[in-house]
Amino acid sequence: MTDDSNKQDPRIELNLEIDNLKSRDEILQVMYWMTGEGLGDEFSVNDLRKFLQSEQTVLAHDLELMVSSGLLASREDKFALTEQGKAEGGRRFADEFESMVKPGHFECDEPDCDCHNPEAAGEACKHLSSAYMN
């Protein structure tokens, strides 16, 4: 007979994995954003807690896991994105905020187009019309 007392319920393990993925995504996005905003290149647990809803010990543990996976580097209780972390953070950040940075309805990707002019509000963009596309 085997002793199953040390085995954890697979559902609990799955929930922990999902929570870790969510936390990793949030950490990467926040660090990518903070770096891009010029708030620094290295961040402490307390720096990150200003933007993340996480217990200090849980966040510190998650950061150490990310160091061991190569997404972060650590030095003197500060953490920085590695090249891999920057690439992953940038991708996740772009995915998360994609809908907020797309052109509006009847607007195109041409920054100098009339469709971006508030005086032309409500008019369809000439770049998106069927006459222009033919």
Name the band, by pLDDT with cuts 50, 70 and 90, for residue 134.
very low
Q: Is residue 4 part of a domain?
A: no
Q: What CATH number does residue 62 fall under?
A: 1.10.10.10
How far is 126 from 105, CA to CA, in rounded Å? Answer: 13
Over residues 61-75, mean pLDDT: 94
Residue 53 sits in the same domain as residue 112: no
Which pTM was predicted?
Answer: 0.64
- Residue 2: inside a domain: no
Pair (133, 79) in one structural domain: no
Rounded Cα gap, residues 39 and 45, in angstroms? 14
Q: Max alpha carbon distance in the chain (Å)?
A: 79
Which of the listed ranges 16-20, 84-88, 100-104, 126-130 does the model predict with the highest average pLDDT?
84-88
Answer yes or no: do 78 and 110 share one domain: no
- Chain segment 46-65, per-residue pLDDT in tens: 999 999 988 899 999 999 99
- Is 115 found in the same domain as 50? no
Q: What range defines the domain where residue 130 resides?
A: 103-134
The model's pLDDT over 96-114, given as tens digits with 9 standing for 90+, comes to 877 666 555 555 777 777 7
CB 59 within 8 A of CB 49: yes
Same domain, yes or no, for 111 and 86?
no
User: What pLDDT is attached to residue 95?
Assistant: 83
Task: State how far the Cα of 41 lies from the Cα of 25, in Å rounded to an integer.
Answer: 18
- Report the alpha-carbon distance of residue 63 to residue 28 in Å, rounded: 10
